[in-house]
Structure formats: structure tokens, C-alpha cells
Amino acid sequence: MIEIAKLSETPRYSGVLVHPSSFPSPYGIGDFGPGAYEFIDYLADAGQKLWQILPLGPTGFGDSPYQSFSAFAGQPLFISPDLLVKDGLLRETDVEAPSVRDPHKVDYGSVITYKTTLYKTAFARFTEEAPQNLKKEYDAFVKEQEIWLFDYALFMAVKEEHQGRCWLEWEDEMTDPSAAAKKKWADEHQDAVNYYQFLQFLFFRQWKALKDYANKKNIRIIGDIPIFVSLDSVDVWADKSLYELDEKGYPLAVAGVPPDYFSATGQLWGNPLYDWKAHKKQDYDWWIRRISHQFSLVDILRIDHFRGFCSYWSVPYGQDTAIGGKWVEGPGEDLFFAIERKLGKGLPIIAEDLGIITEDVEELRDQFAFPGMRVLQFAFDDPNDNIMMPHNHIENCICYTGTHDNDTAKGWYYTASKAAQKKARGYMNTGAADISWAFIRTALSSVAQYAVIPLQDIMGLGSDARMNFPGRSAGNWCWRYTSDQLDKDWQHYFKELTTLYHR
């Protein structure tokens, strides 16, 4: 059983939400190099104890961290070229920084092209001249992670051979491969399989070092996983029996949410749905392995769309919107009892309980003492009293000014209705000029045991720094900052407020 720190050990804590892709770096996207360590130092000096990230998996179409090629693998784009130079896998001449059009935006297309060239060079050097201790470390990693790593590397190698097309478009032999077909293909493309295993080795090695550094600074990392997996993922390809698919592998129905705050037609995510009966027959082994794996990477785990464990919105495959879906019962407590039997009780899990929440969702959350979420922007959008209002907060929750799906606090204010603006100013006793810090002070002063602030709000940024627009298929997940934006005055004020509110 892995060693997992329990949430109950923490008093009032606060921290910052920012994804590694947003870190400063000369290579077009944030990574686990110097910019990440600079951020950890900034966080520690500001008196913070939490760092929240988005899912760390390799992203597919749309670059969304919530649509990944694997529930277990890491994002290769976060591998730091600077650290590869230190390891001797790249030379200074290999990593001449590309021309970056906008240091505040990630251009994923150019980044993928540039970094793939670097990684291929590093892999060739590793194969030909890496020191024995590094190769032994690699061999140990491959053996330790074998249960998911081989299938992932094979999946990515086959995908590369098919110009990135979804596995449903591959030839029949590899769409639903037998063990013999997998072995044959892997033997014939051994270099490609080894390359993708090598990238995962680098990712986990660099992430572990960064996490160890954060933990030594008394900062705990809040990870994040989507409840569903992507259709174009190794998870579905390698074990179709765990999903609601037809005989050709296409979904019978897909995930989404009905019309809500973000969209009048709902959100059609397109993820295949779990066959929960099949999971139960295996005593939820896949889910237990997934949760256990995440706790080897992070200290606390947020599960996105927690309500889907009670009931989920099932939309017939092929629909244009999510309007025609229906609620279907999920596994409920049965899943979490199975997880507890293997991993222990009191797991540090956060339940994302936003949206249409029914009593059974609240009961499931509270049964396992999972903290829920409170988002201040939602408090002031609603003209009525509501659970998001700070005077209605409970201790066992996390208060956010906003999440990755929200506008920034400043952006929200200047696009909100006059009534919402007035309610926010009156409640927080502030003017428009101080709106970002008013949100932060209110979150920190909440009775909520945890308060997490998006870095954009600390920087007082507007809507152009927003991370995601739910329902928009392109142009998301791009925001970055530069080192000069880590203002010392903000850092000192943040620390003062944190101390004032005993966090």
C-alpha cells in the first residue's frame, strides 16, 4: 500500500492554482526546469502551502489536459531541455531557443515540432552513450511501470505510424489487437516503443525531483483527474470491455452535462462512458490502480465532475449537442469502498461538486468526508443567497476565487451584470480598482479549511489571461506568464494576508 498523507492532518491552508504549461521558459511552453523551481520559491516565500495543477497527462486534440491519450502517462512537453543538458542527453548547441511569437501564449503546434526534434536527439544520445547509472534507472522505471507503460508506448508508436489518427481508423489487426499482434508490432517497431517509454522516464524523473523540492519547502501538490477518459486513448484501446462500446469500438453513448451556467446547449464532451458492471466484476481494479498511481505523483487529488459517480449525463453517440441526454446511475459508494479497502480510509480527495448537485451527490461526498468546492464568482452571479456566499461556507471545503474554467476575477467583474458587480462591491466592501485582491482577501478569510487562488488573480490580470472557455474547442490552455510578473510586492502582501487569516 502506498503512503498517502491525510487531509485531516492540515489546518487552514492556502495556495495557488497554475499549470506547469504556464511557467516561464524560452522553449514556447512551461516545463519542469528553472521556471518551475522559481515558482516554488516564490510560493514558499509568500507563505503558501498548496500548489494546484491541472491533469498532467499527454494532451490530444484541442490541447486540453482533460482529454488525454492516457490516464497514467505524463505530458512529454513538460520535459525540460535545460535539465536534459545537465544530464548530458542534450548539448547547449542542441537547445537553441526557438523564436517565440508571444511569451504569454503557448503555440502548441510549433512547440510539438521543436521539442520532438530535441527529444529524438536526446533519445539517440541516451541509446548510444548514456552512463550506465542512467540506463539502470531507466530499466528500473520500465519494469516498475510495466502494467501501463508498454501498452501506452505501443499505442503512441502505432499512432505515430498512422499520422496521429484515432485508433478507430487503424487497420483491423491493431484496432483490436491480440497479444500476439501487439508483440509482433512491438518487435518490428522496437525503437519507436522504446522512444515513448524513454519520454515517460524523463517526465517522471523530472516531475519527482520537482515534487520533492516542493515538499521540502512544505508545499503540497493538489493534482487533478477528469472522471472520464478520452475515446482516443490507450485506456479505451487496450481494454474495451470496461466501456460502453459497440462491436466495432464506437461509443454507444458519450459524456457531457446538460445546459448550465457555461452553455445553453450543455457541454458535449464526447468521452466514452464506463461499463460500471464490468468494473465491479473486477472489483474496480482499474480505478484503484489509477488513484494509487496519482497519489505517487501528487499529495492531494481533485476528481473532476465528482457528481458522475452518483449519476452521469449520457448522450446518444452522434448527437450535435448535449440537450438530448439523460441521467444514468453511477457506482456511488461501492466504488469508494473498494478504493478504501485497497488504499485505506481518509484519502485526501477533493470532490469537484459544481453544477447541478443533488442530495445524493452531497451524501456521497460527505460520507467519505471529501471536501467540496466553493467558487466566489458564482456567489455574486446569483442574486439570491447561495452556498457559494462566504457566510454559508463550511470548514470542509476549498474556497476559490475562480477555477480554470472561470474568467479571472478582474475579467469576471468587467463582464458581469450591474447587479452582480454591485453585490460583489457591497459584500466585499471594495471598489472596482481593487477587485482582484478583494476576491483574494474574501477567499482567505473564509471559514473554508483550504483557499486556492489562480495565479492570474494574484497578478490582477483580465480576461486575456483566462485559461479555458468551456464549450470552445480551440484557443484554450494557452496562458503563460514571464518571470518579471512574479511581483515581490504582491508576494509580500499575499503573505501578510495569509498570516492575518491564519493560513
Instruction: Supply the pLDDT for residue 10.
Output: 57
- Candidate list 304, 381, 407, 457, residue with the active-site label: 304
**405 catalytically annotated:** yes
Q: Which residue has the cell 501498452?
A: 151
Q: Buried b / exposed e across 79-88, counting CB within 10 Å, b at 16+?
A: bbbbbbbebe
Placement of cell 458581469 in the chain: 416
pLDDT of 467 reads 98
- Identity at 132, one-letter amino acid code: Q
Query: 313 - beta bridge partners?
Result: 256, 327
Q: What is the pLDDT along the chain (503 residues), one digit of tens a residue?
A: 455 555 555 589 999 999 999 999 999 999 999 999 999 999 999 999 999 999 999 998 889 999 999 999 999 999 999 999 999 999 999 998 787 889 999 999 999 999 999 999 999 999 999 889 999 999 999 999 999 999 999 999 999 999 999 999 998 899 999 999 999 999 999 999 999 999 999 999 999 999 999 999 999 999 999 999 999 999 999 999 999 999 999 999 999 998 877 678 888 999 999 999 999 999 999 999 999 999 999 999 999 999 999 999 999 999 999 999 999 999 999 999 999 999 999 999 999 999 889 999 999 999 999 999 999 999 999 999 999 999 999 999 999 999 999 999 999 999 999 999 999 999 999 999 999 999 999 999 999 999 999 999 999 999 999 999 987 878 899 999 999 999 999 999 999 999 999 99
CA–CA dist 302, 351 (Å, integer): 6
Q: Which of 224, 353, 405, 407 is catalytic?
A: 405
Question: For the chain, what are the domain ranges?
Answer: 239-370
Indicate if 191 belongs to the active site.
Answer: no
How many angstroms separate the CA atoms of 199 and 209, rounded? 16
- Can you give the pLDDT at residue 5? 56
Separation CA 226–CA 271 (nearest Å): 10
DSSP H/E element including 386: none
The DSSP string of 442-461 is: HHHHSS-SEEEEEHHHHTT-
d(CA 193, CA 183): 11
Closest listed residue to residue 408, CA positions, set 444, 435, 372, 383: 435
User: Is the whole model's pTM more than 0.85, yes or no?
Assistant: yes
**Residue in the structure block whose three cell numbers are 481593487:** 434
Pairing label, strands 253-257, 267-272: antiparallel
List b or e across 18-57, with b for residues whose CB sees 16 or more CB atoms inside 10 angstroms.
Answer: bbbbbbbbebbbbbbbbbbbebbebbbebbbbbbbbbbbb
Q: Which of 31, 232, 299, 352 is catalytic?
A: 352
Residues contacting 190, CB < 8 A, separation 6+: none
